[in-house]
């Protein structure tokens, strides 16, 4: 009989990830609280279970893709009571390191293997099966989980023990928040100095200013046709999710005693942007906020 995988959390990311497991030939038993997510998943070949506990009944691998740490702990607390010892539990949500380590403990107490395996690559990567997985957990758990993760992603990196995947994810996204804010500032300054977007792009994307935020995800329309700037700043990666990840990085920095002044400032900027009701815009749209602020500064100076 085909190996069964339980998938709990079939939203924007989990839905297409579960669909890729179906395409790869697994029997996928799915559950979500939202009827719309269940409908889409069912159309993609996922067998819909009546509850999360029902979904894991005959599964040898359980995957969760949920909004935050509290959801993961609540769902895992139930599931560890229902799974067979030896089951591999994988959480792919982006959550705080502390909750990730707690989830590993819950699995260990139930004699299960476990991995924290947050992703990068967004909904496009989830659909195309090209996600990057940053994985934390024991060697034996990784060896069992890697072939499953390969069906949903193109790069699977074992970052270390429990929580190391989440640690890598929040460090990476702290860099992303900082570099995007920096690139946006540079474009606004260039506009003020009369330098064209294309000229700044041609120089910075091939010089020491190069980074993903400019080379691949340029926040102004034109230079990189696939970036959200060319599509009215429709996400992509929503500013609300960037704020979530920056907050996680700052919680982790406070708990670990790390000085992250740039990360703290990026978190403040995205907090302000979200408070303006713009959390649904792509995170590169913060360039529009910087432009508006510059306009106000210019007007104040007369
Ligand atoms: P989403 O809100 O679309 O999906 C989450 C799903 O979990 C929802 O369908 C919700 O109904 C379901 N859910 C919540 N509590 C549940 C419970 N107790 N039982 C069953 N289902 C439950 O969110 P998403 O965009 O799919 O993101 C999921 C995770 O992936 C988040 O942690 C997010 O930070 C991370 N992530 C998202 C992106 C992205 O671009 N969307 C990229 C990388 C990582």
Q: Evaluate: CB of 60 within 6 angstroms of ligand 1.
A: no
> Which of 6, 7, 13 gets mutated to test ligand 1 (max ligand atoms within 8 A of its CB)?
13
Does 187 lie in the same domain as 274? yes
Question: CA triplet 8, 12, 17: central angle to 5 degrees?
Answer: 60
Ligand 1 geometric centre to CA of 9 (Å): 6
Q: How many domains does the chain have?
A: 2
Which domain CATH number covers 45?
A: 3.40.50.720
Q: Looking at ligand 1, which residue's alpha carbon is closest to its atom 20?
A: 32
Q: Are the C-beta atoms of 148 and 21 separated by less than 8 Å?
A: yes
Report d(CA 122, CA 217) in Å as an integer.
13
Contact 119 CB / ligand 1 (< 6 Å): yes
Could you tell me if 269 and 181 are in contact, meaning their C-beta atoms sit under 8 angstroms apart?
yes
**Per-residue model confidence (pLDDT) at position 302:** 76
Q: Exactly one of 23, 81, 151, 169 is catalytic; which is it?
A: 169
Domain that holds residue 221: 167-301
Dihedrals phi, psi of 161, to nearest 5 degrees: -80, -170
The answer on 217 and 153 residing in a single domain is no
- 9, 93 in Cβ contact below 8 A? yes
CA-120 nearest atom, ligand 1:
43
Contact between residue 86 and residue 57 where contact means Cβ atoms under 8 Å apart: no
Determine whether 23 is an active site residue.
Answer: no
For residue 13, what pLDDT is reported?
A: 95
Ligand 1 close to Cβ of residue 32 (< 6 A): yes
Question: What crossing angle do the helices spanning 261-273 and 286-301 adopt, rounded to 10°?
Answer: 90
Alpha carbons 262 and 114: distance in angstroms, whole number: 33
Q: What is the C-alpha to C-alpha distance for residues 31 and 29, in angstroms, rounded to an integer?
A: 7
Minimum-distance ligand 1 atom for the alpha carbon of 31: 20
Residue 71 CB–ligand 1 contact under 6 Å: yes
pTM of the model: 0.94
Give dist(CA 64, CA 66) in Å, integer.
6
110, 81 Cβ separation under 8 angstroms: yes
pLDDT at residue 1 in the model: 61
What single-letter DSSP state applies at residue 133? E
* Local mean pLDDT, 10-residue blocks, the chain (302 residues): 91 96 98 98 98 97 97 98 98 96 98 97 92 98 98 98 97 98 98 98 98 97 97 94 97 97 98 98 98 92 80
Residue 122, ligand 1, Cβ within 6 A: yes
Claim to verify: residue 40 and residue 147 sit in the same structural domain: yes
Mark whether 102 and 231 lie in a shared domain. no
> End of a domain among 161, 193, 223?
161
Final residue belonging to a domain, choices 161, 190, 218: 161
Residue 24's contacts (CB-CB under 8 Å, 6 or more residues apart) are 151
Write down which residue in 161, 190, 223 finishes a domain. 161
């Amino acid at each position: 009989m085909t190996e069964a995988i339980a998938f709990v959390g079939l939203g924007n990311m989990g839905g297409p990830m579960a669909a890729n497991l179906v395409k790869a030939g697994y029997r996928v038993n799915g559950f979500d609280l939202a009827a719309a997510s269940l409908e889409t998943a069912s159309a993609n070949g996922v067998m819909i279970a009546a509850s999360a506990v029902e979904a894991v009944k005959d599964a040898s691998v359980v995957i969760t893709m949920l909004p935050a740490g509290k959801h993961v702990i609540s769902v895992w607390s139930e599931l560890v009571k229902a799974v067979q010892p030896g089951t591999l539990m994988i959480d792919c949500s982006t959550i705080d390191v502390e909750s990730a380590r707690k989830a590993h403990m819950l699995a260990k107490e139930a004699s299960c293997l476990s991995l924290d395996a947050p992703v990068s690559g967004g909904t496009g990567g989830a659909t195309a099966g090209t996600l990057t997985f940053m994985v934390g957990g024991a060697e034996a758990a990784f060896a069992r989980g890697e072939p499953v993760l390969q069906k949903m992603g193109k790069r699977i990196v074992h970052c270390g023990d429990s929580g190391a995947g989440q640690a890598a994810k929040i460090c990476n996204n702290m860099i992303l928040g900082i570099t995007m804010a920096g690139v946006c500032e540079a474009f606004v300054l260039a506009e003020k100095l009369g330098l064209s977007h294309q000229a700044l792009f041609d120089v910075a994307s091939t010089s020491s200013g190069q980074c993903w935020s400019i080379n691949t995800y340029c926040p102004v329309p034109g230079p990189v046709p696939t970036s959200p700037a060319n599509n009215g700043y429709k996400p992509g990666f929503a500013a609300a999710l960037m704020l979530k990840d920056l907050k996680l990085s700052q919680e982790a920095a406070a708990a670990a005693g790390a000085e992250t002044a740039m990360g703290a400032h990026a978190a403040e900027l995205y907090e302000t942007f979200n408070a303006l009701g713009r959390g649904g815009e792509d995170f590169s749209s913060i360039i529009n906020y910087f432009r508006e602020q510059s306009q106000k500064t210019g007007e104040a100076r007369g």
